[in-house]
Structure 1
């Protein structure tokens, strides 16, 4: 039986955001998600994050489930202007449909509009606003969009997700920071990587590689973690590109990751109790934690460059959008794949240059 979700009781009453930890698993826990699927999920996640007006503070896409730490802000008074609404609709709808909606809004809001027309105008805007600033609508839209893509890409039918997603209301500050760390540490705990910065499908790795939204997410979870030893200011969009402003927050968050992921049995008390028993859950040794503490969690220049360049290593074809799509078309003509590829070039979200870079991910032939 599905459990009732607890949503923030202050929604609609206070001008206050709500933070949730959401988890959803693939049906029968099958390991469906490989590189391409994880990249596509993150692409849709960012798309619907912008459309719904929520903020993904941290995330991790594993092989058969995903974690999201989502902040849902209150609905702004008056919603959005028509121009802003149309911009958001353009993210998730064909341009032809957006044009029809634009004409309807312009007609219904004109000076000559009747009271009935004004009512229809308000109802049309509300139809789309009802999908924004809402956790359930964000999760529904994201999961349905990804399911359609996945089923088409893999020529399958039926449900992809195991029941509905689980969510927990999270207190901002220390609890949000610990939850974000738990999410980023999933691949470390599973033994997939030794360092969370090396798992490209989590928020921390994206932040290390220069992702602005991921960096803002980390800054947000640390915003209310001030104490007498640390002073924390939430970074603005213009500040995340300042390596000195970001370095302070990045180091503090990384130290928290290491301290939270202390390997089971590393403490003297645990060793005395466990004896020779080995816990399969992975983590960091005391020596590794002390090493990070000694450098205040600050990554070397070589480590930063390596993280930023990972997407280049993973790509099979790299270049402008037209170049990559042209290569895909030629490979289709040459019969490179058993069936023609319908997907297009993927934009690299962690580009190290100002010009957009696109890639075709490495794929195994069937």
Structure 2
């Protein structure tokens, strides 16, 4: 069966939700392994032209929300600086292959491949084993910035809540909200430009506070899948500082945030569809599915087949 096409946009900054699962049974990714995987994400994000917006490293998979930058935004001096900062003076920059290096450092596929391959080498050496660790290629979807992105980030940060690992999302240190809270966003790993103009905030601390409020209010809603944040925990957090704002009776429709090809407002989904419909093997106009519980949010399933291509 042909591989399903991956949707990639190279002509503008684009946010992707990446998911990759292990091929091994059980929960092979232990706490020390989570630390190592997070360290890889941090190190490689200094090399690649990517903004990390969110993540959750779990026992058998990881989520990564990242904004990739297009090649035409990147100068040769940017490439050289990143290269030298990452490799130091010991590894000479191949200036005769500048175009090739630039293409790679702006590639979602190369970025995630580096993360996964480096982790596999680490894990196999640690356990004196050989073979695959990850279960095939990673899944990715294009995400519209703004309210769609914030809803997605909440879904990602609530993974450890749904799994019953912690009672408060920031208590899980291998997630973006945990990283914000426990480290103060050490080394500036996480970008907090969510594109949500409604918040009208420039103060980083206030943006994180509002995001934390959104995650709590969202996580308190019983979606019928997994555990929720206990009401007494939410009430306690409210009393400590954030005001109650308009709360959508948001019910997780997990498949939209994991199986879609594109997710966002209807106009955004239509725009991307027009760019990628040649990959879908169908001339029919695609009908977009509204995501229940979130007004104005639509999803386009990735139903076509073909090879990995870029637009």
Under a length normalisation based on structure 2, what TM-score does the superposition of the two structures give? 0.70
Deviations 1:177-198 (A, max 9, x none): 0111111110011000001111
1:255 to 210, 213, 217: 213
Distance 2:34 2:163 in 1: 17
Offset at 1:18? 0.3
Match of 1:71 in 2: 67
Corresponding residue number in structure 2 for 1:231: 200
Q: Are the counterparts in 2 of residues 53 and 132 from structure 1 also a CA contact under 8 Å?
A: yes
Which of these residues, 79, 86, 91, is aligned with residue 85 of structure 1? 79
Match of 1:295 in 2: 240
Q: Does 1:62 align with 2:55?
A: no
Alignment-derived partner of residue 208 in structure 1: 181
Q: What's the offset of the Cα at 1:154?
A: 1.3
| Structure 1: 4+ residue segments shifted above 4 A | 90-95, 212-216
Q: Does 1:50 align with 2:46?
A: yes
How far apart are the structure 2 equivalents of 1:280 and 1:164? 26
User: Residue 127 in 1 paired to residue 100 in 2?
Assistant: yes
Q: What's the offset of the Cα at 1:53?
A: 1.1
Instruction: Describe the SS at the equivalent of 2:19.
Output: strand
Helix, strand or coil at the partner of 1:130: helix
Count of equivalent residues: 241
Displacement of 1:56: 1.0
Q: How far did residue 199 of structure 1 move?
A: 0.6
Q: Does 2:120 match 1:162?
A: no
Looking at structure 2, the residues matched to 78 and 186 of structure 1 have their Cα atoms a distance apart, in angstroms, of 34
Q: Deviations over 1:303-329 (max 9, x none)?
A: xxxxxxxxxxxxxxxxxxxxxxxxxxx
Q: Structure 1 214/87 Cα, relative in aligned 2: closer, same or farther at 3 Å?
A: closer
- Structure 2 distance, partners of 1:23, 1:195, is 23
**In the superposition, relative to structure 1, how do residues 68 and 214 fare at CA in structure 2: closer, same or farther (>3 Å)?**
farther
1:37 to 2:11 alignment = no
Q: Secondary structure at the match of 1:56?
A: strand
1:77 Cα offset (Å): 4.6
Matches for 1:1-366 after TM superposition, within 5 Å: 1=1, 2-8=3-9, 11-12=10-11, 16-77=12-73, 79-81=75-77, 84-90=78-84, 96=90, 98-99=91-92, 101=93, 105=95, 121=96, 124-209=97-182, 210-212=184-186, 216-217=190-191, 219-221=192-194, 223-226=195-198, 230-233=199-202, 245-264=203-222, 281-297=226-242
Q: CA RMSD, aligned part only?
A: 2.5
- After TM superposition, the structure 1 stretch with the greater mean CA deviation from structure 2, 248-257 or 55-64, is 248-257
| 1:200-230 superposed Cα distances (whole Å, 9 cap, x missing partner) | 111111111212466752x212x3241xxx4
SS across alignment from 1:27: coil
Q: CA deviation at 1:169?
A: 0.4
Q: TM-score, normalised on structure 1?
A: 0.60
